[in-house]
Amino acid sequence: MTTTSPCLYVIATAAPPVLRLTELLDELAASGWDSWVITTPAAATWIDTEALAAHTGHPVRVQPRLPHEQDPLPKADAVLAAPLTFNTLNKWASGISDTLALGLLNEALGLRLPITAAPVVKAALQRHPAYGVSLRTLRRCGVQVLDPDAVTVRTADDVTSQDWPTIVEALNRQFSNALE
């Protein structure tokens, strides 16, 4: 009997933890996920998308496909938005689909897929009135939005990163609950 790994869309935005995305992908692979990376256009300028594609064995998507092109993405079983910026989180909660990443996040809401979001948001922006409204909207739709203060860390070289093991554990828990 052959079993296949569940397909995970990893939606990555332009926040400093995107520079360590391979660490997240390694954690996800160790947990049995088949990860497909989709980035915002800004995030794509920060990273080596070809190296990420080699790392996962799948093309990294940034731009929408043309109407005559076949979609290279398989059907997702779950979605992880990490790192997720203040800007993308608020656009997503408002239903804006001006990038492939946002379009897929909005579709995932409509499909009621398990979605975990790991925002990277400064304290000052967490106090912005739109942020609280967006969090409530996404949570009401079933998105597991993690506390940025709980999953954002500073590395030894003083770079903002994320606590990938904690994020993957939360994703796995949510996915298991969705299967029950």
Q: Which residues 6+ apart lie within 8 Å of 10 measured at CB?
A: 21, 24, 25, 28, 35, 36, 37, 38, 80, 82
90 to 2, 17, 81, 132, 137: CA distances (angstroms): 41, 19, 13, 9, 10
- pLDDT exceeds 60 at position 77: yes
> What average pLDDT is seen over the chain?
95
Contact (Cβ atoms closer than 8 angstroms) between residue 145 and residue 171: no
Q: How far apart are the first and last CA of the chain?
A: 22
**Is residue 2 pLDDT above 60, yes or no?**
no
Nearest to 89 by CA among 59, 122, 112: 122
pLDDT, tens digit, 9 for 90 and up, residues 124-151: 999 999 999 999 999 999 999 999 999 9
Taking the alpha carbons of 133, 141, 111, 61 in that order, is the dihedral positive or negative? positive
Encode pLDDT of 49-76 as tens digits: 999 999 999 999 999 998 999 988 999 9
Could you tell me the two tokens for 61?
């998507």
Q: What backbone phi and psi angles, to 5 degrees, belong to 70?
A: -75, 140
Per-residue pLDDT, averaged over 150-157, amounts to 89
Q: For each of the domains in the chain, give its residue range(s) and CATH number, in order of start.
A: 7-60+75-179 (3.40.50.1950)
